[in-house]
Structure 1
């Protein structure tokens, strides 16, 4: 049975939504084709007919997660607001809807060139977003340096806060990083 172009686009979008969420929750290696097709309510055949391979799906799902998360940041959101929200317990506790950089960064060295390129483009976008929200009195190179350090601090703090099994230490990591970045 043929599927309309509109339905095919909806199915593709559903697969990308599910794949980007599952990869952030379980990791790329933990989001197998069986889990993806089951969560999306699709068959293996429909997944492969839309993406050709799991590798291509991973590339597009990583790009989709980054793009979707970037679109959630309001234009009038200041850097302090961004930092505060990023380093919140709510963000830490919901990796499936959270930052794809913190959720996937440790897996990137083992991914294909295409996946790493999409991830790298996203990191550059995050740095650009932060740089654009920094004090206007800074020279362009200073803004970029601060944006790089801020992005690394945010992602690193979130990764550590999620990794430890001590709730107080996890909260302390978020709080201390938020305080330090606010200086």
Structure 2
């Protein structure tokens, strides 16, 4: 049975949504094709006809997650508000809908060049976004350096806050990093 182009596009979107959510929640290695197909309400054949391989699906799901999360950032935002939202207990506790950088960074170095390229492009975009919110009194290189440091601090803090099994330490990591990046 042939599927219309419109339906194929809807199926692709559903697969990418499910894959990006599951990979952020369980990791790339922790999600098999069976789970991806089931979560998207599709068959193995549908996944492979859309993407050709799990590797290609991972590439596109990583790019999708980065783009979707970036689309949630308002056009005009205050950097302090962004940092506070990013380093919040709610964001820490919801990796499936949270930042793909914090959820996937530890696995990306072992992925294909295509996956790493997509991830790198996303990091560059985030640095540019944060840089655009740095004080205009800074020189362009200073703005970029501050954006790089802020992104690395936020992602690192979120990774650590999720990894430790001490709730107070987790909250302290978020709080201390928020405080070091504010103002």
The reply to whether TM is greater than 0.5 is yes
Does residue 61 of the first structure (1) align with residue 61 of the second (2)? Answer: yes
Partners of 1:79 and 1:50 lie apart in 2 by 38
Cα distance, 1:76 vs structure 2: 1.4
Which structure 1 segments of 5+ residues have no match? none
Question: C-alpha distance in 1, partners of 2:144/2:138?
Answer: 9
Q: How does 1:112-127 map to 2 (within 5 A)?
A: 112-127=112-127
2:129 is aligned to 129
Q: Normalising by structure 2, what TM-score?
A: 0.99
How far did residue 36 of structure 1 move? 0.2
Counterpart CA distance in 1 for 2:108 and 2:76 is 31
Shift of 1:50: 0.3
List runs of 5+ in structure 2 lacking aligned partners.
none
Question: Aligned-pair distance for 1:171?
Answer: 0.4
1:31-50 correspondence runs (5 A): 31-50=31-50
The CA RMSD over aligned residues, in Å, is 0.6
- 1:74 maps to which residue? 74
Partner of 1:181: 181
1:163 corresponds in structure 2 to: 163
Within 2, Cα distance between the matches of 1:160 and 1:83? 16
| Displacement of 1:4 | 1.1
Q: Which consecutive segments of 4 or more residues in structure 1 shift more than 3 A? A: none
* 1:96 paired residue number: 96
Q: d(CA) in 2 for partners of 1:133 and 1:71? A: 16
